[in-house]
Structure 1
């Protein structure tokens, strides 16, 4: 399973924005060309991503010589799942059809592994909701135990 480039780029860029805000102080603004350069990202792609983030209310922008982007709330109050949802990403493990009436395989029944993939999606969703941007910046991510 993979998260698309747009989702990964959005999380990386918001983490960079949070880092720069911490370094430069509250109220500071960061330009996309600076994020693009630091993170090795396409500035034109960042513009698309930040348009989605702005529409979702996660960042705001200001034009002019002191312009740039800023987070609309503290990095500790912004879940990674919020960022992924803002860029309309869906983390899916199912290969199943979304129409339950058709079942997973086009028949009327669920596939044998339907419950497994649903549980994985729930686990991933819960993990991404529990991780904040500040945790990403600090490298303080929750540890998960693998059952033995």
Structure 2
């Protein structure tokens, strides 16, 4: 299994949305700018995420997107499934291997797929955005997006 750009971008965009949830609504333009993802691509992704019930859209001048549920309730597996990412590690032997006529390694890959999915399901969006690494990078992105604002330190 190789995680495609679609899956990686879906997780990245949802992390950005969770990080900026305090703003109430986040525009796709802002996510695209911070994460260097094409706006058109994000629009396609967010249609899938909205259809899966992970995000809500608000129209209008102060519109944007917000999480449909608390970040503690959204798993990485939920996001990848919504993005139609194939997270099956099965051997994929075509005609030589299937559930009815498995190859020697079929059960190994099937079990690994189950464990991998369980791992992704156990990782909540809230967990991944709280790490120091993610928080540091998000702060840097926000500073870059705001621009060069002189900061004065009092000693």
Instruction: Give the TM bin, normalised by the shorter chain.
Output: 0.7 to 0.9
Write the distance in 2 (CA, Å) between the matches of 1:114 and 1:48: 34
Task: Give unmatched runs, 5+ long, in structure 2.
Answer: 133-155
Write the distance in 2 (CA, Å) between the matches of 1:104 and 1:139: 41
Q: Would you say how many aligned residue pairs link Structure 1 and Structure 2? A: 131
Q: Deviations over 1:5-64 (max 9, x none)?
A: 111111110010000014x3xxx1000010011111111100000000111111011111
User: TM-score, length-normalised on structure 1?
Assistant: 0.82
CA contact (8 A) 2:91 2:105 kept: no
Task: Give unmatched runs, 5+ long, in structure 1.
Answer: 141-148
Q: Deviations over 1:82-137 (max 9, x none)?
A: 11111111212123257xxx6507xx631111111111101110001000000110
Write the distance in 2 (CA, Å) between the matches of 1:7 and 1:139: 20
Please tell me whether Structure 1 or Structure 2 has the larger radius of gyration of its CA atoms.
2
Write the distance in 1 (CA, Å) between the matches of 2:125 and 2:84: 18
Trace 1:1-148 onto structure 2 (pairs within 5 A): 1-22=1-22, 24=23, 28-96=24-92, 104=97, 109-139=101-131
Write the distance in 1 (CA, Å) between the matches of 2:93 and 2:39: 35
Which has the larger helix fraction? Answer: 2
Cα RMSD (Å) of the superposition? 1.8
User: TM-score, length-normalised on structure 2?
Assistant: 0.78
Runs ≥4 residues deviating over 4 A? none
